[in-house]
Chain A
């Protein structure tokens, strides 16, 4: 325990983060294989993984870069649908499910990263509330466009249309995206192990990035943009880098999420989803990766635990959110919390 204390902060965070995830895997994976967990929890495993990845990637933008992004679900959406299209197109060519899933996730991530680049260039020039509203606008635009998209594949290749199914002009083949109905007939190839691997990859990327020259530049921009410029940091370049990484990771999560359900519509990735993930990030602590993992898991599981209170779920979310913001941001409340944590620490020290 004493050796743990002497390790630097980065190593400590690594141990805690990877530790929690690996522990969860070691416990839950065999339980799932042996059918020891009930159906509903089993069905939640992959979604929780994707939400954890979404939250960690959003924390990179909101917590470390310090910019409020309200359209994060848009990147998830791009990743989800490009991933699904890829998976369906490769259905005959790549018969191995895990491999197909892997390729789809990578492709989803790449497209989401491109979206991050395209959106980032105009958006990151703005600041504060304006940036927030524009990210929200982009999220809605993405949702709208995907809602109008018809995509199919036949022996002639990929067909895309914005009007209706017949405009695709396909000969036989398979319909992948059916406008507002979204993707239908998706083969469910997402697995819990894939989810855990994705989380670990995300942790690797984000934790390493934050503890590097680039990460320091990003945090410096958050703390004082003008000072960062004055020491020669290209602000737009680093904002864009963080934003693209965040978008790509969200896209990968989206791809995984989409292939966990047989149908998926763009409506799922709307403003409400973006806000939900933001709530996870804020409650977990901005810039606090381990906190984000815990908060996402708890808050996602909360409805399950409050089975009978289905109607009150979002209401409780809202009240909790308001209370947490009030408590952590009013000086008087902060002082009280500091007193309490100080007393706890003293108590632990004297007993330890």
Chain B
């Protein structure tokens, strides 16, 4: 009986994860839209503090997988286990409370609210404030507001956004908006964070900073990260396990080395090599 739970890569599991249940497991996950099967036989395991990557050509179904994992879509078949618990039939909000958070391909900030309010909204479920307290501004209102303000500023500071706390989220430059979205997701205190193309539109130095931030997230918060990316240098550098998706099905799983040299992966991205 293996003491190790099978994870995308057998070789590179952080020491601390070896005897722990994986934070995320899917078994034969699939979804159909009308007659079109968008995702099929998607089985993945992510270790408790693993940085994992989900890659594949455009239209492969990667964001659809994210939508399935966060219950934005209900799967047509298959099971998702988050921290050992089945997420079937839960709403997106309920699933978030079970410990999963995400960012979006097209940034979805609360653009008319301030930066700090965006984070406070992320902290919604950990702020202790009843409706009566909200309306009367008594019964612990001041205390909970103070606490949430401090925690929010702390989180923002971690990513260098504390100075912009009072700015309107929609007025931030693109890179900062992306960072804010990550901060907001982290504010929900998830066990795993899903990042959808976090490096989109970034230049090499911003991408390097992002890599540092992702490592920081995993190290400081002790959570797992699953990211969708097209930037191969980022993926190969930072991911411990990689899963490759094409036309909704997994075509390869393994360490960066294994994936780089996998002929199926190369074919999916570059097309079949023409016979000479």
Direct A–B contact in the complex, CB atoms closer than 8 angstroms:
yes
CB pair A212–B129 under 8 Å, yes or no, is: yes
Residues of B within 8 A of A220 (CB): 110, 113, 121
CB pair A227–B111 under 8 Å, yes or no, is: no
* Bound CA–CA A226/B67 (angstroms): 11
Residue of B nearest to A237 (CB): B93
Residues of B within 8 A of A234 (CB): 91, 93
A304 is an interface residue with CB less than 8 A from chain B: no
Residue of B nearest to A216 (CB): B121
* 9 nearest A-B pairs in the assembled complex, by CB-CB distance: A212-B134, A232-B96, A227-B108, A223-B110, A229-B92, A213-B129, A214-B134, A220-B121, A232-B97
The range of chain A's interface size is 20 to 34
Residue of A nearest to B169 (CB): A223
CB pair B129–A214 under 8 Å, yes or no, is: yes
Mark interface residues in A212-250 (1 if CB within 8 Å of B CB, else 0). 111111011011101111111111000001000100000
CB pair B102–A219 under 8 Å, yes or no, is: no
Main secondary structure of the interface of B (DSSP, over half): helix
In residues 120-139 of chain B, which contact A (Cβ within 8 Å)?
120-122, 124-125, 127, 129, 131, 133-137
CB pair A216–B92 under 8 Å, yes or no, is: no
Q: How far is the CB of A36 from chain B (nearest CB, A)?
A: 37
Q: Knowing A213-B129, A214-B129, A223-B110, say if A231 contacts B135 (CB, 8 Å).
A: no
Chain B residues engaging chain A, CB cutoff 8 angstroms = 70, 72, 91-94, 96-97, 101-102, 104, 108-113, 117, 120-122, 124-125, 127, 129, 131, 133-137, 141, 144-145, 148, 184-185, 187-188
Q: Knowing A213-B144, A233-B93, say if A223 contacts B135 (CB, 8 Å).
A: no
Known: A212-B135, A230-B104. 16 other contacts (CB 8 A): A204-B135, A205-B135, A208-B135, A208-B137, A214-B134, A216-B120, A219-B112, A219-B117, A224-B111, A226-B92, A227-B108, A227-B110, A230-B72, A230-B102, A231-B124, A232-B97
Residues of B within 8 A of A223 (CB): 109-113
Q: Which of B101, B131, B134, B136 contacts A230 (CB 8 A)?
A: B101
11 contacts between A and B (CB under 8 A): A212-B141, A213-B120, A213-B148, A220-B113, A227-B110, A228-B121, A229-B92, A230-B72, A231-B185, A232-B94, A241-B131
Q: Knowing A209-B135, A217-B124, say if A231 contacts B188 (CB, 8 Å).
A: yes
CB pair B91–A229 under 8 Å, yes or no, is: yes
What is the number of contacts between chain A and chain B, taking CB atoms within 8 Å?
A: 99
Residues of B within 8 A of A245 (CB): 135
* Bound CA–CA A245/B131 (angstroms): 11
* Bound CA–CA A222/B127 (angstroms): 20
Residues of B within 8 A of A227 (CB): 104, 108-110
* Bound CA–CA A215/B121 (angstroms): 10
In residues 85-134 of chain A, which contact B (Cβ within 8 Å)?
none
CB pair B188–A232 under 8 Å, yes or no, is: yes
CB pair B92–A217 under 8 Å, yes or no, is: no
Q: How far is the CB of B48 from chain A (nearest CB, A)?
A: 21
* Bound CA–CA A230/B101 (angstroms): 7
Most buried by B among A217, A222, A227: A227
Q: Knowing A229-B92, A231-B96, say if A219 contacts B113 (CB, 8 Å).
A: yes
* Bound CA–CA A219/B188 (angstroms): 18
CB pair A233–B101 under 8 Å, yes or no, is: no
Residues of B within 8 A of A208 (CB): 134-137
* Bound CA–CA A130/B124 (angstroms): 29
* Bound CA–CA A258/B223 (angstroms): 59
* Bound CA–CA A270/B120 (angstroms): 40
Q: Which of A215, A226, A232, A233 contacts B72 (CB 8 A)?
A: A226
CB pair B109–A224 under 8 Å, yes or no, is: yes
Residues of B within 8 A of A209 (CB): 134-135
CB pair A226–B93 under 8 Å, yes or no, is: no
Mark interface residues in A184-227 (1 if CB within 8 Å of B CB, else 0). 00000000000000000000110011001111110110111011
Q: Which of B91, B117, B185, B188 contacts A216 (CB 8 A)?
A: B117
Residues of B within 8 A of A231 (CB): 96, 101, 121-122, 124, 184-185, 187-188
Q: How far is the CB of B163 from chain A (nearest CB, A)?
A: 17
Residues of A within 8 A of B145 (CB): 212
CB pair A216–B135 under 8 Å, yes or no, is: no
Residues of A within 8 A of B125 (CB): 232
Residue of A nearest to B181 (CB): A227
CB pair A213–B113 under 8 Å, yes or no, is: no
Q: How far is the CB of B192 from chain A (nearest CB, A)?
A: 14
Mark interface residues in A333-350 (1 if CB within 8 Å of B CB, else 0). 000000000000000000
* Bound CA–CA A333/B113 (angstroms): 24
Residues of B within 8 A of A212 (CB): 129, 133-135, 137, 141, 145
* Bound CA–CA A230/B124 (angstroms): 11
Q: Knowing A213-B127, A213-B144, A217-B121, say if A232 contacts B108 (CB, 8 Å).
A: no
Residue of A nearest to B91 (CB): A229
* Bound CA–CA A188/B2 (angstroms): 83
